[in-house]
Amino acid sequence: MIPTSTINKFVDLYYGRDDVHGTEEGGCKRQPPDWDGHLDGTGPPIGIYPLVRREDGQLHVVWGCVDFDTVTPTKRTTDYLTERDAHVAACNLHATLGQMGIVAHIERTRSAVGRHVWVHAATWTPAADMRNMLLVACKVAETSTREVNPKQTQLADDQLGNYVRLPYPHHFPQRTIINTNSAPIGLETHVAYACDNLTDPALIAEWAARLPTSPAPTLRYAPPPDEDFWQKLNGKARMVLEEGPLQNDRSRALMYLAGQCVRSGLTGHEALAVIDHAAARWGKFDGRPDRDHQLRTIVQKAYLS
């Protein structure tokens, strides 16, 4: 039986959207999260969507989390090759945040070989500040920035952003907060320590301001100055371009479009121009310093598959 005070503290630490939650299998359930069930096993493990729109219309969070994935038989996109590397990276980030005056917590994640590094704010904090502060810390610690949550700082009204699976699910006892020697820390100890060491949003904002402002992406791929260029695309590609992504899944739509470029016989460069055009139109990767890299990766995957 978990004391109510512990559950309440856990909720305070990992609070986010209270109308929806993420599932263990991957997906969104439009029901309030069952916090008790997550911790005591009467319900399934849950993931929380951190982004909450406050009265000022801006997105806020009470926590941030950096996810370091490790290669597994089913997962090809990864940050680190071994658990040891993921753990060292998490420890480096943990130590860096410590030097920045921010207490962080390392979690052994679902795959058991990956790591989460959590930071808890004392009150609602602008999502951009939390994300930028974590990016600064990752930059200093030289760790992967592939999965820095919150991943979005702006959302359309019908969008939720990404959720993160929480630690201490009853059914998976290995998914706990751990210390830098990988020894597990009990739920009560963790929540008590974390609640006593919440980070002031002003400090988060102060570090966030140190993130170098990336210049707007300058690399754009212009299609050939050929009026017939767009006619080279097959009907499916033109339909996706005109109608936009299904269920607002822009990543999937870009990947599909790149595949149709291959089938339409476009060269890699021409496909890049099409994907660039679509991404700009749908606002995907806008303002991201790795925009160019992301676009090229999509095209490359399509052409190599």
Q: How far apart are CA 90 and CA 84, in angstroms?
A: 10
Q: Please tell me the count of residues contacting other proteins according to CB under 8 A.
A: 34
Taking the least distance from each CB to other proteins, the nearer of 159 and 267 is: 267
Residues from 133 through 172 that contact other proteins (CB under 8 A): 136, 140-143
b/e per residue 247-266 (b: at least 16 CB within 10 A): eeebeebbbbbbbbbbebeb
Supply the minimum distance, in Å, between the C-beta of residue 159 and other proteins: 28
Supply the minimum distance, in Å, between the C-beta of residue 226 and other proteins: 17
Closest CA to 271 of 283, 284, 254: 254
Taking the least distance from each CB to other proteins, the nearer of 5 and 180 is: 180
Q: How far apart are CA 283 and CA 294, in angstroms?
A: 13
Residues from 206 through 245 that contact other proteins (CB under 8 A): 210, 212
Q: How far apart are CA 140 and CA 134, in angstroms?
A: 10
Side-chain half-sphere CA neighbours of 283 within 13 A: 6
Supply the minimum distance, in Å, between the C-beta of residue 211 and other proteins: 9
Interaction of residue 183 with other proteins, rule CB under 8 A: no
Interaction of residue 92 with other proteins, rule CB under 8 A: yes
Interaction of residue 71 with other proteins, rule CB under 8 A: yes
List residues binding other proteins (CB under 8 A): 71, 76, 78, 80-82, 84-85, 88-89, 91-92, 95-96, 99-100, 136, 140-143, 210, 212, 267-269, 272, 293, 296-297, 299-300, 303-304
